[in-house]
Amino acid sequence: MTEVCRTVPVPAKDIFAVLADGWSYAGWVVGASHIRDVDPNWPSVGSRIYHKSGPWPVQVADETEVLTMEQDRMLELRAKLWVLGDVRIRVSLLPLAERETEIRMEEHPTGGPVSMAPKVLQDLLLKPRNQEALGRLADLADGRGGGTP
């Protein structure tokens, strides 16, 4: 499992609002390039986002499914990575103050070739990507009205 954390000056509810907007997924998930559709009940357990991953013109159709959801606290997803396999991603929100939240992202490959890679290699590939994702998520949440006054 690869884990990254970031403390941001944004309330947890504003960060969760971005997670709950399936159409914003390509805005914060590094590698997702186009949202094709979002189930109307997103982010309920079992709902899915249908997206494309990768640069044009070699994009592949993928999907991401909600495994667990706790309003304003946590979202756990299963993302398909085309032929590379599947990953389980958990984004947890820990309020530290009224306008400060620790975002924690855990990613665990669960199938396919990526799950067989050594942990050192997984961390080398996933940590920078996930740190960028947390930065994007924080920026989108801040732009929705959270953040510093």
What ranges in the chain are assigned the alpha helix state H? 12-19, 25-28, 113-116, 119-143
pTM, to two decimals = 0.89
Q: Give the pLDDT of residue 146.
A: 45
pLDDT at 85 over 90: no
pLDDT at 113 over 80: no
User: Considering the chain, what percentage of its residues have pLDDT values greater than 90?
Assistant: 66
Gap between the Cα atoms of 111 and 92, Å rounded? 22
Q: Which CATH superfamily is domain 2-143 in?
A: START domain (3.30.530.20)
Please, which pLDDT band fits residue 60 given cuts at 50, 70 and 90? confident
Smallest Cα–Cα separation from 28: which of 142, 148, 132, 123? 132
